């Protein structure tokens, strides 16, 4: 496992940061992405992260909300500060990919605070009622797995532990399924 120290990360050149991220396994990449501060990370690194298929829906939403998009959501596009326009473009990409289903929801990697999604969707509905539309509108149907209660979510497959290879191979030979 990579131990990336914050000080080392921020002082690394951008191309080196991407090389380090490429070496991470998907689970480690998602864990790391959830902890970075996007406004202190280079835009090209954020673009690289947003383009990864290994990123799941919970991680993409966590990154999206780490940008604190509510501050800029209702501003006209021309009113964004110049230094934030590239970051807003990354938010555009994240929003588009979230809405089209590019990021797959994984039950083991849910958001730490799914209420952020619920609040965002509620705010969208309130804005729509007032005749306003923000820059980043998230699709409620795509985000349903993130806002559902864990107890309501169904689990596919078996709920118990899986047998090992040898047990899985030989058990069907010796155990009858007949009553």
Does a structural domain hold residue 176?
A: no
Q: What is the pLDDT of residues 63-100, one digit of tens each?
A: 999 999 998 888 887 777 788 889 999 999 999 999 99
Does a structural domain hold residue 163?
A: no
Does a structural domain hold residue 179?
A: no
Residues whose CB falls within 8 Å of the CB of residue 66, separated by 6 or more in sequence, listed in order: 34, 36, 37, 38
Does a structural domain hold residue 157?
A: no
Cβ neighbour number for residue 50 with a 10 Å cutoff:
23
Does a structural domain hold residue 104?
A: yes
Give residue 13's domain range.
Answer: 6-152
pLDDT of 1 over the 50 cut: no
Q: How many distinct structural domains can be found in the chain?
A: 1
Q: What's the pTM value of the predicted model, to 2 decimals?
A: 0.77
Positive/negative CA dihedral, 91, 8, 56, 147: negative
Which of 36-40, 85-89, 153-157 is predicted least confidently?
A: 153-157
Q: What is the pLDDT of residues 133-145, one digit of tens each?
A: 989 999 988 888 7
Does a structural domain hold residue 164?
A: no
* More confident site: 173 or 142: 142
Does a structural domain hold residue 60?
A: yes
């Amino acid at each position: 496992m990579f131990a990336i120290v914050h000080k080392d990360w921020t002082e690394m050149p951008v191309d080196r940061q991407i090389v380090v991220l490429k070496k991470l396994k998907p689970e480690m990449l998602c864990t790391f992405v959830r902890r970075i501060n996007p406004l202190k990370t280079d835009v090209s690194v954020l673009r690289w992260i947003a383009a990864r298929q290994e990123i799941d829906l919970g991680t993409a939403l966590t990154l999206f909300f780490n940008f604190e998009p509510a501050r800029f959501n209702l501003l006209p596009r021309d009113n964004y500060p110049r230094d934030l326009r590239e970051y807003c473009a990354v938010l555009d990409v994240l929003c588009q990919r979230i809405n089209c289903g590019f990021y797959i929801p994984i039950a083991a990697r849910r958001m730490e605070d799914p209420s952020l999604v619920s609040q965002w969707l509620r705010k969208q509905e309130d804005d729509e009622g007032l005749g306003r539309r923000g820059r980043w509108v998230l699709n409620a149907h795509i985000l349903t797995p993130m806002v559902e209660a864990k107890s309501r979510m169904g689990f596919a497959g078996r709920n118990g532990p899986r047998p090992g290879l040898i047990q899985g191979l030989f058990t069907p030979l010796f155990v009858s399924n007949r009553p």
